């Protein structure tokens, strides 16, 4: 090998080694830069679901067709904010509604999940401000939650006045109807009621019977089928009234509608989860 060749090889080796060093020294920077970019992407804030200040998440007592649904509970005892949630098999209006007993009510457009064609469970808390309602109807009662209007009747909750012409002092009941109305069939409890006391009420149908629960306990059940056939009609879900012929005075909270008949233990679980907010 000539001197000239040796010099040439020497330069070539130096060139390769320098290139290798440069490549090695650059490589970590490139990786770091990529990592930084990835971290930036990961660090992008994910929008958090907005929840009203008055609502706090609560444990989930009721699985709906293998899906678990977050059930927001009410933190403050008095609030006018109502958070609604509606999925395929479940609806809730969580929060406290204050109702003046004169003309206050709230309607939610008709949905299939409000109808008891398979089964239905409706859960709510009520707190009457009077035992004798100013705007009552019929023999002396108010409809405080229900789905029905003339020619499109389905189901209702009723609370009787302390004085009424059927001698049903403050009876709280849940009835189902044929769509034409007329006589309904349902279940009730009739206890001494105190003004300002929260009561948890659940009405349920399973295709054969109506059920009513008070504070997580089954109180009554009655066979309605085949006399009554509940039809999926077009009336809205109404809270505080049914069709504005009578109005509940007081508070109604956490109205939940499940498009199936919940088990007794599921109903007790709802009561147990929610009761600390309504004591």
- The residue range among 3-11, 143-151, 210-218, 225-233 that interacts with Ca ion, by the rule CB under 5 A, is 225-233
The residue ranges of DSSP E strands in 118-248, in sequence order, are 120-128, 141-149, 152-160, 172-176, 185-189, 199-205, 209-214, 217-223, 237-239
Cα Rg, the chain, nearest whole Å: 31
Whether residue 169 has a cis bond before it, omega within 30° of 0: no
Q: Which of 259, 271, 239 is nearest to 87 (CA)?
A: 259
220 forms part of the interface with Ca ion (CB under 5 A): yes
Shortest approach of Ca ion to residue 57 CB, angstroms? 30
| C-beta of 121 vs 127, nearer to Ca ion | 121
Please count the other Cβ atoms lying within 10 Å of the Cβ belonging to residue 179. 18
| C-beta of 54 vs 121, nearer to Ca ion | 121
Shortest approach of Ca ion to residue 91 CB, angstroms? 13
Scanning residues 160 to 189, which ones bind Ca ion (CB under 5 A)?
Answer: 187
Shortest approach of Ca ion to residue 67 CB, angstroms? 22
110 forms part of the interface with Ca ion (CB under 5 A): yes
Tokens describing residue 187? 């279940």
What values do phi and psi take at 77, rounded to 5?
-75, -35
| C-beta of 38 vs 167, nearer to Ca ion | 167
Dist. CA 8–CA 221, nearest whole Å: 103
Scanning residues 187 to 216, which ones bind Ca ion (CB under 5 A)?
Answer: 187
- The residue range among 63-71, 77-85, 224-232, 258-266 that interacts with Ca ion, by the rule CB under 5 A, is 224-232
What's the N-to-C CA distance of the chain in angstroms?
Answer: 101
DSSP β-ladder status, 63-64 and 67-68: antiparallel
Shortest approach of Ca ion to residue 176 CB, angstroms? 13
How far apart, in Å, are the Cα atoms of 257 and each of 7, 189, 207? 90, 21, 16
Shortest approach of Ca ion to residue 186 CB, angstroms? 8
Shortest approach of Ca ion to residue 125 CB, angstroms? 22
Tokens describing residue 42? 């990961």
| C-beta of 143 vs 171, nearer to Ca ion | 171
Shortest approach of Ca ion to residue 210 CB, angstroms? 8
| C-beta of 79 vs 187, nearer to Ca ion | 187
Q: How many residues bind Ca ion (CB under 5 A)?
A: 5
How far apart, in Å, are the Cα atoms of 273 and each of 75, 96, 267? 12, 16, 10
| C-beta of 107 vs 232, nearer to Ca ion | 232
Among 119, 222, 231, 264, binds Ca ion (CB under 5 A): 222
231 neighbors 151 (Cβ within 8 angstroms): no
232 forms part of the interface with Ca ion (CB under 5 A): yes
Cross-strand bridge partners of residue 57: 72
- The residue range among 51-59, 128-136, 202-210, 217-225 that interacts with Ca ion, by the rule CB under 5 A, is 217-225
Shortest approach of Ca ion to residue 141 CB, angstroms? 16
| C-beta of 161 vs 187, nearer to Ca ion | 187
Binding interface with Ca ion (CB under 5 A): 110, 187, 220, 222, 232
């Amino acid at each position: 090998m000539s001197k000239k060749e040796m010099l040439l090889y020497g330069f070539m080796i130096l060139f390769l080694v320098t290139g290798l060093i440069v490549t090695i020294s650059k490589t970590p920077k490139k990786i770091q830069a990529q990592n930084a970019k990835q971290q930036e992407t990961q660090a992008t804030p994910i929008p958090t679901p907005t929840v009203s200040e008055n609502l706090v998440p609560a444990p989930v007592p009721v699985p709906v067709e293998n899906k678990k649904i977050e059930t927001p509970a009410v933190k403050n005892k008095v609030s006018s904010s109502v958070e609604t949630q509606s999925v395929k098999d479940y609806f809730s209006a969580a929060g406290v509604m204050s109702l003046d007993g004169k003309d206050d009510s709230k309607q939610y457009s008709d949905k299939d999940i409000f109808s008891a064609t398979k089964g239905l469970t409706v859960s709510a808390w009520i707190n009457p401000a009077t035992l004798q309602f100013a705007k009552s109807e019929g023999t002396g009662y108010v409809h405080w939650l229900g789905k029905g209007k003339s020619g499109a009747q389905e189901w209702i909750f009723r609370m009787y006045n302390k004085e009424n012409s059927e001698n049903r002092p403050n009876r709280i009941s849940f009835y189902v109807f044929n769509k034409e109305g007329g006589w309904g069939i349902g279940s009730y409890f009739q206890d001494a009621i105190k003004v300002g006391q929260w009561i948890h009420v659940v009405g349920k149908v399973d295709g054969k019977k109506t059920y009513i629960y008070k504070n997580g306990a089954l109180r009554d059940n009655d066979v309605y089928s085949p006399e009554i056939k509940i039809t999926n009609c077009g009336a809205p879900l109404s809270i505080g009234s049914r069709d504005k012929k009578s109005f509940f005075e007081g508070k109604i909270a956490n109205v939940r509608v499940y498009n199936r008949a919940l088990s007794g233990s599921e109903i007790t679980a709802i009561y147990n989860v929610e009761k600390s907010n309504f004591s």
